[in-house]
């Protein structure tokens, strides 16, 4: 758990820093802009944010921080619960505004306690005029008091700090309140410089649909766009998954599930991170060998202190068994019996795994450089798709890979050169020595290309002009014709350039084959890869209705009793009461007659007790059945399948449809 918390923390630090970075440029723009603003209209910044709220909470805090440091701007951020009051009436809005403003100001300047009293006093009766009075007094005070303000006042340019009001959720406001607020504050803009910032989740059109022309003409709106959440996702994946820094990795299926939830459900980076967190928790909780999932140095230490049981656990891993089977027989015996030897081997294997990861990421990026420029993107546009494909299977066996290689063989020279350069950069940036050879090889390719270019220039252009021309145009359309050309030219000797091109592609191909082996072919991959996607799907993207349906339709799923085993549609009379009632209700239309229902139920139930129920106790039995029926029906009502209906006496209405 210790490790886990460390990991969590590491992860979060990384994320926060990333978010801060990605927003900082954006913020700077806004802050700059707010400083400049001075006009009769109320300056307004409309931030178009996606539909993920939590992230821009973080952003607001960042915004606040940067502005605090500048200290000539007041800031009011409305948080959620206040929003409700905001929505209700203008009075509340003003009141809240005022309270926050004063509080905020006191926070910033840390004035004396007497002002607190003033605040509470003012909370009772707030109006625009009192606000202005207060504002003037404060500015006066700050003018005389703090040197920082003096500086600004001496410049006489922005002597009064503008007051910034942030409306986080533009869509959820009542238009009336917002309009009134804007109209009121626009009348006092001289004495009370105000800057509004709207957080918009949909599109800037909303401003015009929410505010009539007379009101929106009072605003001076500038639009700011934030990054789309898809870009966020790709950066996060890039930073979190495709680095060797974090020892914990996601399996293919899990990653697929997470991405699917993101793309098809909510577009929320927040949820993606949550899912990732859940994976970490789940991995460290369920997998006993996850203690080895840490940095290589630590892992080696931990291997030495493994107990016998843990060694047994390792022996039981399927990937390890595969490894053992591939060894010589005396080695097998040693592996399976002596712990110390096993530990040695494990250390070596872990190291292998580590090296594999480093190489994997580099080669993956390389391959991405190649495939992302191909027409139609046979292997996907984003690096995450490529990553998934590589994890899923041996990528070189797939059709998509074949076709992308085909396309790559037809690349023109300039593209090829830039790509090679990028690849070299990637390799150089890594510290590993593994790739010295490949880097050299690539560099050699580059120099050869240089030479080739010179050679081309010397040569007569007319010969290759047609070919060159064709190459400059769109590759995709040319694929067919080029193939034909190749057929015809097969007899001819290949040009030097083409030879070289083939060589390069083959080189890349061999790189892929060597280093992009999917993770589950590796020994001991269980330690660092989390691959139980079902857990994730169950806990993040649950389907309560399906659970209810299976429980009611097929109780055998949960209650392992032989008597309950039955095939689909028929009503088993041994099922729990509620299941029988549910099945009977499925057979009905929109309205259900209670009496008929009761009778059907009692017939089904009586069939079980039928033979042994004698005449004397039949009344008693009847009452009990009635009671059971009542219980089952009220349970169905609680679950929301039916509701009492006033259309007809003693009828209930069905709220679901379909069924038998």
Partner 1 sequence: TLAKKIKENKMSNLVEEYFEAHSSSKVLTSDRTLQKLRKRRLDQQTLHDLLKKAPLAYATEIKELNQQHESLFSKWMLQLHLGFNIVLYGLGSKRDLLEKFRTSVLQDSVHLVVNGYFPSITVRSILNSITEEVLDHTGTFRSPLDQLEFIIKRFKEDSSLELYVLIHNLDSQMLRGERSQQILAQLSSLPSIYLIASIDHINAPLMWDQAKLSLYNWLWYETTTFSPYVEETSYENSLLVQQSGSLALSSLTHVLRSLTLNARGIFRLLAQYQLENKDNTSYPGLSFQDFYQQCREAFLVNSDLTLRAQLTEFRDHKLIRTKRGADGVEYLLIPVDDSTLTDFLEKEDEDV
Of 45, 555, 584, 600, the one binding partner 1 (CB under 8 A) is 555
Give backbone dihedrals phi and psi of 123, rounded to 5 degrees, phi first: -60, -30
Segment 442 to 461, residues that bind partner 1, using CB under 8 A: none
Q: Which stretch binds partner 1 (CB under 8 A): 252-260, 319-327, 350-358, 540-548?
A: 540-548
Q: Is 498 in the site for partner 1 (CB under 8 A)?
A: no
Of 558, 565, 587, 618, the one binding partner 1 (CB under 8 A) is 558
Residue whose CB is less far from partner 1, 267 or 320: 267
- Least distance to partner 1, CB of residue 129, Å: 24
- Least distance to partner 1, CB of residue 103, Å: 12
Distance of CA 356 to the CA centre of its chain: 26
The 74-77 sheet, strands edge to edge:
74-77, 163-167, 194-200, 42-48, 219-225
Q: Which stretch binds partner 1 (CB under 8 A): 65-73, 124-132, 216-224, 645-653?
A: 645-653
Residue whose CB is less far from partner 1, 25 or 544: 544
> Binding-site residue total for partner 1 (CB under 8 A)?
79
Of 97, 306, 578, 581, the one binding partner 1 (CB under 8 A) is 578
Q: Which stretch binds partner 1 (CB under 8 A): 14-22, 365-373, 490-498, 559-567?
A: 559-567
Could you tell me the two tokens for 555?
């109780």
Segment 606 to 635, residues that bind partner 1, using CB under 8 A: 623-624, 626-631, 633-635
**Angstrom distance (rounded) from CA 515 to CA 109:** 59
Q: Is 576 in the site for partner 1 (CB under 8 A)?
A: yes
Of 25, 147, 611, 658, the one binding partner 1 (CB under 8 A) is 658
Q: Is 156 in the site for partner 1 (CB under 8 A)?
A: no
Q: Percent helix, strand and coil across the chain, each rounded to 5? A: 70, 5, 25
Of 32, 596, 610, 617, the one binding partner 1 (CB under 8 A) is 596
Q: Is 594 in the site for partner 1 (CB under 8 A)?
A: yes
Segment 24 to 83, residues that bind partner 1, using CB under 8 A: 51-54, 80-82
Of 222, 266, 339, 385, the one binding partner 1 (CB under 8 A) is 266
Segment 85 to 124, residues that bind partner 1, using CB under 8 A: 85
Q: Is 396 in the site for partner 1 (CB under 8 A)?
A: no
Q: What is the dihedral of CA 11, 13, 14, 18, to 10 degrees?
A: 140
CB 393 within 8 A of CB 518: yes
Per-position DSSP letters for 54-66, written without gaps between them: HHHHHHHHHHHHH
Per-position DSSP letters for 264-294, written without gaps between them: III--HHHHHHHHHHHHHHHHHH-GGGGG-S
Of 74, 405, 592, 604, the one binding partner 1 (CB under 8 A) is 592
- 3-class DSSP state of 113: coil
Could you tell me the two tokens for 257?
């599930």
Q: Nearest to residue 579, comparing CAs of 563, 591, 170?
A: 563
Of 100, 271, 287, 290, the one binding partner 1 (CB under 8 A) is 271
- Least distance to partner 1, CB of residue 606, Å: 14
Of 16, 183, 223, 559, the one binding partner 1 (CB under 8 A) is 559
**Angstrom distance (rounded) from CA 398 to CA 52:** 36
Q: Is 288 in the site for partner 1 (CB under 8 A)?
A: no
- Least distance to partner 1, CB of residue 93, Å: 14
- Least distance to partner 1, CB of residue 30, Å: 23
Q: Is 552 in the site for partner 1 (CB under 8 A)?
A: yes
Q: Which stretch binds partner 1 (CB under 8 A): 108-116, 154-162, 423-431, 585-593?
A: 585-593
Segment 5 to 24, residues that bind partner 1, using CB under 8 A: 8
Tell me how far CA of residue 109 lies from CA of 99, 162, 193, 638, in angstroms: 16, 16, 19, 56
181 Cβ contact partners less than 8 Å away, ≥ 6 residues apart: 90, 93, 94
Contacts 24+ apart (CB under 8 A), 125-133: 126/94, 126/95, 126/97, 126/98, 126/99, 127/94, 128/94, 128/184, 128/185, 128/188, 128/192, 130/98, 131/94, 131/97, 131/98, 131/101, 131/192, 132/188, 132/191, 132/192
Q: Is 656 in the site for partner 1 (CB under 8 A)?
A: yes
Residue whose CB is less far from partner 1, 470 or 645: 645
Q: Is 644 in the site for partner 1 (CB under 8 A)?
A: yes
**Angstrom distance (rounded) from CA 120 to CA 128:** 16
- Least distance to partner 1, CB of residue 51, Å: 7
- Least distance to partner 1, CB of residue 211, Å: 23
Q: Which stretch binds partner 1 (CB under 8 A): 142-150, 177-185, 222-230, 573-581?
A: 573-581
Q: Is 274 in the site for partner 1 (CB under 8 A)?
A: yes
Contacts 24+ apart (CB under 8 A), 105-114: 105/74, 105/138, 108/68, 108/71, 108/74, 109/142, 109/145, 109/146, 111/141
- Least distance to partner 1, CB of residue 48, Å: 17
CB 360 within 8 A of CB 515: yes
Of 167, 435, 601, 641, the one binding partner 1 (CB under 8 A) is 641
Residue whose CB is less far from partner 1, 377 or 556: 556
Secondary structure of 362-410 as H, E, C letters: HHHHHHHHHHCCCCCCCCCCCHHHHHHHHHHCCHHHCHHHHHHHHHHCC
């Amino acid at each position: 758990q210790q490790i886990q918390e460390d990991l969590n923390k590491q992860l979060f630090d990384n994320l926060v820093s990333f978010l801060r970075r990605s927003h900082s440029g954006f913020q700077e723009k806004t802050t700059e802009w707010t400083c400049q603003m001075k006009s009769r209209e109320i300056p307004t910044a409309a931030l178009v944010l996606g539909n993920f709220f939590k992230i821009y909470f973080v952003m607001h805090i960042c915004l606040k921080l940067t502005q605090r440091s500048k200290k000539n701007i007041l800031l009011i951020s409305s948080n959620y619960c206040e929003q409700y009051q905001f929505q209700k009436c203008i009075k509340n809005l003003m009141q809240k505004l005022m309270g926050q403003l004063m509080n905020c100001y006191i926070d910033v300047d840390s004035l004396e306690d007497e002002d607190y009293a003033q605040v509470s006093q003012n909370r009772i009766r707030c109006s625009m005029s009192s606000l202005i009075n207060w504002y003037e007094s404060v500015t006066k005070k700050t003018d005389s008091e703090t040197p920082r303000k003096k500086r600004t006042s001496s410049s006489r340019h922005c002597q009064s700090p503008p007051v910034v009001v942030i409306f986080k959720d533009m869509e959820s406001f009542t238009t009336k309140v917002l309009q009134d607020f804007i109209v009121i504050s626009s009348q006092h803009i001289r004495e009370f410089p105000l800057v509004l910032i709207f957080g918009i989740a949909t599109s800037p059109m909303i401003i015009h649909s929410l505010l009539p022309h007379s009101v929106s003409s009072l605003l001076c709106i500038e639009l700011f766009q934030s990054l789309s959440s898809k870009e966020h996702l790709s950066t996060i994946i890039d930073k979190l998954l495709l680095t060797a820094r974090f020892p914990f990795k996601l399996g293919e299926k899990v990653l697929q599930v997470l991405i699917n939830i993101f793309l098809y459900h909510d577009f929320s980076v927040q949820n993606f991170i949550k899912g990732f967190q859940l994976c970490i928790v789940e991995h460290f909780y369920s997998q006993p060998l996850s203690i080895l999932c840490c940095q290589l140095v630590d892992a080696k230490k931990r291997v030495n202190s493994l107990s016998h049981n843990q060694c047994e656990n390792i022996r039981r891993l399927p990937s390890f068994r595969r490894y053992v089977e591939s060894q010589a027989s005396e080695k097998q015996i040693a592996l399976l019996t002596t712990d110390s030897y096993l530990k040695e081997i494990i250390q070596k294997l872990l190291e292998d795994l580590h090296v594999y990861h480093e190489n994997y990421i580099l080669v993956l990026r390389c391959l991405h450089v190649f495939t992302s420029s191909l027409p139609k993107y046979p292997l996907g546009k984003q690096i995450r798709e490529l990553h998934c494909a590589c994890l899923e299977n041996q990528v070189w066996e797939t059709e998509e890979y074949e076709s992308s290689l085909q396309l790559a063989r037809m690349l023109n020279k300039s593209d090829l050169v830039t790509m090679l350069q990028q690849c070299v950069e990637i390799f150089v940036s890594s510290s590993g020595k593994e790739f010295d050879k490949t880097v050299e090889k690539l560099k050699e390719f580059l120099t050869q290309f240089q030479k080739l270019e010179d050679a081309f220039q010397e040569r007569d252009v007319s010969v290759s002009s047609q070919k060159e021309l064709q190459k400059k145009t769109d590759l995709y359309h040319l694929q067919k014709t080029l193939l034909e050309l190749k057929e015809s030219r097969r007899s001819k000797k290949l040009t030097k350039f083409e030879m070289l091109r083939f060589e390069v592609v083959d080189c890349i191909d061999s790189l892929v084959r060597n280093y992009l082996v999917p993770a589950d072919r590796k020994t001991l991959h269980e330690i660092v890869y989390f691959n139980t996607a079902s857990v994730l799907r169950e806990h993040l993207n649950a389907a309560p209705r399906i659970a209810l349906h299976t429980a009611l339709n097929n109780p055998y799923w949960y209650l392992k009793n032989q008597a309950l085993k039955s095939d689909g549609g028929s009503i088993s009379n041994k099922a729990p009461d509620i299941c029988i009632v549910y099945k009977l209700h499925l057979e009905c239309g929109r309205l259900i007659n209670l009496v008929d229902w009761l009778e059907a139920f009692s017939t089904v139930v009586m069939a079980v007790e039928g033979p042994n129920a004698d005449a004397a106790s039949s009344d008693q039995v009847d009452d009990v059945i009635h009671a059971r029926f009542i219980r089952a029906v009220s349970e169905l009502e609680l679950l929301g399948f039916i509701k009492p209906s006033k259309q007809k006496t003693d009828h209930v209405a069905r709220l679901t449809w379909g069924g038998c």
